[in-house]
Structure 1
């Protein structure tokens, strides 16, 4: 099968290598220009891609179909709604309901440590989790969290895990110096607003909504502070599917980089598609545009930069005792990723 070359004479391998070397596709200066042509001739291979349609940060995946970006890479992508939980993403891939999927690093790594047969192959973006304090709490910064109560929606929710790292690196023991309170997913903001907890740890777009609705103060997120320059969401592929369809997965990575780069430059267009197609509750089109405009959609590492970021995440999760003390972060990162540039 032949591979196409962009019209400017730069091979797609060169583009991917440039994106990977910098960890930012924007550094290539060409990915946002829609320069790709179909990579192979013949029928487009079908890929069932799991996504969380209620998560605004996943909207580029659906937009990629509507915009024809996947088709341009000669892929027939079908979206599989896997629910709002990382565990249902794991189940979708494990049971063969999906071939690949997008999820938070905090959801991926523990199952991968336990031997789940998936390889991570490209990052999507950074910054879709927020730590928010009520005005009544009097908390002004992370240092003020000692002795306080933090609400989240699960005992091992990704926001809880992410901000346990933030706490630990600020010198606060995330297990003994704060109290974690589990509340229903849709009531995290309400619980903090009525004083049942001081702080909310939640995901966008819900975190964005409660920050605006209740006038909460953002203490931290997953694109600044200890997460500066770090991706929070990555794509993984089912092991057997990857083995049988490596070139298709490589083109899926290319499409992922292009469509997220497009979102970085056109958040209003993607927000309009998301608003009109999915009609998310309690969010206006302007609010969706603001959410997408604040996410770090230029951050989509591939190749060695992805390995490096997974290693850093593994080190963080060991710090807060999510991963086993015996896990070697470097060896682990190399095992659970695939280098599509090799």
Structure 2
């Protein structure tokens, strides 16, 4: 079964409607440094630097009082910014591009997730050398535009496969992918964390491959702001980047902080799952960034991925979409490379 290209068009056009309904040209007054009004897409483990900054008092240390609200969808932090309900968006980086195409002028200021966080899960004993091994198999995913679908789709194209005809897609509701592999309906599931570690600890499955590590460093999730806020509240932007930089340093200096804060933020997740997930957040291509700086290469990798998956309205350049000066200042202050 394949997913129709109209799904991609309707998704992208839907983002345009959300941005338009929020009012793209509303004037914004300069915001005070406190509170730091943050809109996150969904409450996800890959936003761990944000949660450490909040839970360990780093925003307060840098003169900000964090006010975090969960928007409920990957595109929803954009209207939160445009309506004035939030100042900082934490979501998929591609959302900043689509909003800017519609005239919103978003600027990415800090890297939150440094790898496209999708893993391949299979029954024990399964060998998987790379995306070419998807050929002829059934893959359990979430529905488009989830990265559990778009990332293997893109990886297969890069490997020379036709993802529309060479594999059988099994898009399922949230939480159903692991069972599909366990009971033999699917050969592989492509999943995020915590699902990868739930598969390993509760379904007797193996995590056989990291699609994100194979694709290389990418600014998978970021914090972005409106250009107006950037220009009128640079002190707030710098304080925010300082808090995120310090959180990322703490996480790499002591990975137990990851375990502790994850337990606080996700109390319903089995501690064994969090412990199993921890190494995957600090791998060769770390999901938890070593610093908040967004590099041109990380931008290029993300844009190539999102374009290939059909979720971008246009390819906008790094120079237009990223201001790395605040993250660079923060990295220098905290001795991050």
- Measured against the shorter chain, the TM-score band is 0.7 to 0.9
2:228 aligned residue: 240
Q: Which residue of 2 aligns with 1:297?
A: 288
Q: Tell me how far apart the structure 1 counterparts of residues 159 and 116 of structure 2 sit (CA, whole Å).
A: 21
Q: Indicate yes or no: 2:133 matched with 1:148.
A: no
Name the SS for the 1:87 alignment partner. Answer: coil
| Structure 1 residue 289 displacement after superposition | 4.4
Structure 2 counterpart of 1:221: 210
Tell me the distance in 2 between the aligned counterparts of 1:72 and 1:143.
48
* 1:169 correspondence with 2:119: no
Alignment TM-score, normalising by the size of structure 2: 0.74
In 1: Cα distance, 2:138 partner to 2:83 partner: 38
- Provide TM-score, normalisation by structure 1: 0.73
Q: Secondary structure at the match of 1:86?
A: coil
Shift of 1:108: 4.6
2:48 to 53, 59, 63: 59
Q: CA 1:65–1:203 in structure 2 vs 1: closer, same or farther (change >3 Å)?
A: same
The 1:268/1:110 distance shift into structure 2, 3 A limit, reads same
How far apart, in 1, do the equivalents of 2:281 and 2:126 lie? 29
Q: Give the Cα separation in 2 of the matches to 1:275 and 1:150.
A: 30
Encode CA deviations 1:227-247: one digit per residue, 9 max, x unaligned: 2x3342211113433232122
Structure 1 unaligned runs (5+)? Answer: 1-42
Distance 1:244 1:185 in 2: 40
User: Does 1:134 find its partner at 2:125?
Assistant: no
Q: What stretches of structure 2 of length at least 5 have no aligned partner?
A: 1-31, 329-337
Matched, 1:317 2:312: no
- 1:259-297 deviation digits (Å, cap 9, x = unpaired): 112112222123213314541333445346455444442
**1:100 Cα deviation (Å)?**
0.8
State yes or no: 1:76 paired with 2:65. Answer: yes
CA distance in 1, matches of 2:94, 2:188: 20
* Alignment match, 1:340: 325
Contact 1:130 1:222 in 2 (8 A): yes
**Does residue 50 in structure 1 map to residue 39 in structure 2?**
yes
**SS in structure 2 at match of 1:314:** helix
Q: Measured at CA, do residues 213 and 278 of structure 1 come closer, stay the same or move farther in structure 2, by a change above 3 Å?
A: closer
Q: 1:179-206, CA deviations, whole angstroms, 9 ceiling, x for partnerless residues?
A: 3222111212122222332221221122
In structure 2, relative to structure 1, the CA distance for the partners of 1:72 and 1:183 (3 Å cut) is same
Q: What are the equivalent positions in structure 2 for 1:1-342 lying under 5 Å apart?
A: 44-51=33-40, 54-83=43-72, 85-106=73-94, 108-127=96-115, 129-135=117-123, 140-141=128-129, 142-227=131-216, 229-276=217-264, 278-284=266-272, 286-287=275-276, 289-290=278-279, 292-294=281-283, 295-302=286-293, 305=295, 307-323=296-312, 327=314, 329=315, 331-340=316-325
How many residues matched? Answer: 292
RMSD, aligned α-carbons: 3.0
What SS class does the counterpart of residue 197 from structure 1 fall into?
coil
